[in-house]
Amino acid sequence: MVRGRKSTGEDRSDRLSEYESKRNFEKTPEPGPRQRRSRTGRRFVIQKHRASQLHYDLRLEVNGVLKSWAVPKGPSLNPKDKRLAMAVEDHPLDYAGFEGVIPEGEYGGGTVMLWDQGTYIPDDDTGDVAKGVEKGELKFSLNGKKLKGSWVLVRTRGRQWLLIKHKDAYASDESVTETQARSVLSDRTLAEIASDEGGDVAKAATGDPVEAAPPRRTPKVSRTAKRRSSTASPSRSRKASSGARQRGGGRHAPGRS
């Protein structure tokens, strides 16, 4: 029987019981709990997860488990953005290295990419991260490959939190989930991970941004000529849509499939 409410007095196995009860380790390649602490004790990862909905799982190591939040739109480097972050069950530390395919029909079925990893430091002087989680406000600095600088997670109600970038040297309006869409572990896209590991490639691909179109081979002069005669051209609609894609109109909207 899984206890839904958490209390500070629970030991590690209690805190991971929800994680274990949701998964059949005969069927999923996800790890069961083994490791008890990382070298630094302050590991962080973000896993991009194309499950029923695309989301990014932010995980911070706190007292031997990974506290976890599912962020539908992913992190934003822009301090004006408040990204919804739903608290989900604690995950074992072993999960921090996981990238692969969870079989369809299993809990969280779909492709998982290790999108960023590194360490974090609580900004609070006391360093008491568990207390911050309890209180519903956690300020921390990330030292990842993609994400750096200071962030805050603040609880609004229930399991709903907001993830917000603080203003600092790493704040920017770069759309980091689009510009740095590949795995920090393997440099693969979601579709490539699915393809390598027997997953649903078409589903996974909907979580990848459309790659920049290859350079046109057609010389410019002939483009002009084609445009002049395009009213009668049967290839007009095809050209129009490829033009839209080059302007960014073909980008996949995250979480919309």
Binding site for Mn ion (CB under 5 A): 49, 57
Tokens of 30: 């996800």
Instruction: Please identify, using beta-carbon distances, which residue of 57 and 208 lies nearer to Mn ion.
Output: 57
Instruction: Please identify, using beta-carbon distances, which residue of 72 and 79 lies nearer to Mn ion.
Output: 72
Which residue minimizes CB distance to Mn ion? 49
Shortest distance, position 76 Cβ to Mn ion, whole Å: 18
Instruction: Please identify, using beta-carbon distances, which residue of 49 and 83 lies nearer to Mn ion.
Output: 49
3-state secondary structure 156-183: EECCEEEEEECCCCCCCCCCHHHHCCCC
| Amino acid (1-letter code) at residue 222 | S
Instruction: Please identify, using beta-carbon distances, which residue of 17 and 53 lies nearer to Mn ion.
Output: 53
List beta partners, residue 154.
137, 162
Shortest distance, position 47 Cβ to Mn ion, whole Å: 7
Instruction: Please identify, using beta-carbon distances, which residue of 57 and 99 lies nearer to Mn ion.
Output: 57
What are the φ/ψ torsions at residue 121 (nearest 5 degrees)? Answer: -130, 130
| E strand or H helix that includes residue 201 | helix 201-205
Tokens of 154: 């603040």
Shortest distance, position 23 Cβ to Mn ion, whole Å: 12
Shortest distance, position 112 Cβ to Mn ion, whole Å: 7
Alpha-carbon distance 142 to 153, whole Å?
12
